[in-house]
Amino acid sequence: MTFNRDSIVALCLIMTSGGLMVASFDIREPDYGVLSPAAWPRLIIIIMGVLGVLYFIQSLRMPKANISAEPPKSLVEFIAYWRNVFSVFIIFAAYLLALPFLGMLIGNIAFSFILLSALGGWRPFVMHVLVAIGTSGGMWLLFTYALEVFLPRGSLTGF
């Protein structure tokens, strides 16, 4: 078993989960309603903590990595090395800027499709369309009709 960078990240995640769980006990309990307002945040925190523990265990079981790749030396090499990270941030910023105009449904479908295509390549075009429509449409239907949450409508689309 080796202690590496993943182990440190997992420990930070576990400590963050613990801190969030302690903070969740400060959520005010109203006199009405059946379900506590802290129920959903605590469920997410518990899931995040369990995944952090699994991540920590997995990081300890990994063999020691042989890091032989040289770090990028020029700005162009740096951008090429981190292009996926930069593209995710740029696509997400464009999504946030377009959300008031496109609305939640069309904006999420476009965001999911563009992100899948940028990271996974443009060849599986039909699969990316189906995944984007299925996941975004399903979540939109769940929140709009099952949970009756008012999602932002687009000024251009009306959805």
Count, residues in the chain: 159
Residues 6+ away with beta carbon under 8 Å from 65: 4
Q: What crossing angle do the helices spanning 83-120 and 125-141 adopt, rounded to 10°?
A: 100
Q: Which sequence spans correspond to the domains of the chain?
A: 5-61, 75-146
The answer to whether the CB of 29 falls within 8 A of the CB of 42 is no
C-alpha distances (whole Å) from 115 to each of 52, 122, 124, 131 are 25, 10, 13, 11
Cα–Cα dist 93/95, whole Å: 5
The answer to whether the CB of 63 falls within 8 A of the CB of 2 is yes
Which pLDDT band holds residue 65 (cuts at 50, 70, 90)? Answer: low
The answer to whether the CB of 42 falls within 8 A of the CB of 21 is yes
pTM value? 0.66
pLDDT, tens digit, 9 for 90 and up, residues 67-96: 666 777 889 988 988 899 999 999 999 999
pLDDT, tens digit, 9 for 90 and up, residues 131-157: 999 999 999 998 888 888 888 888 887
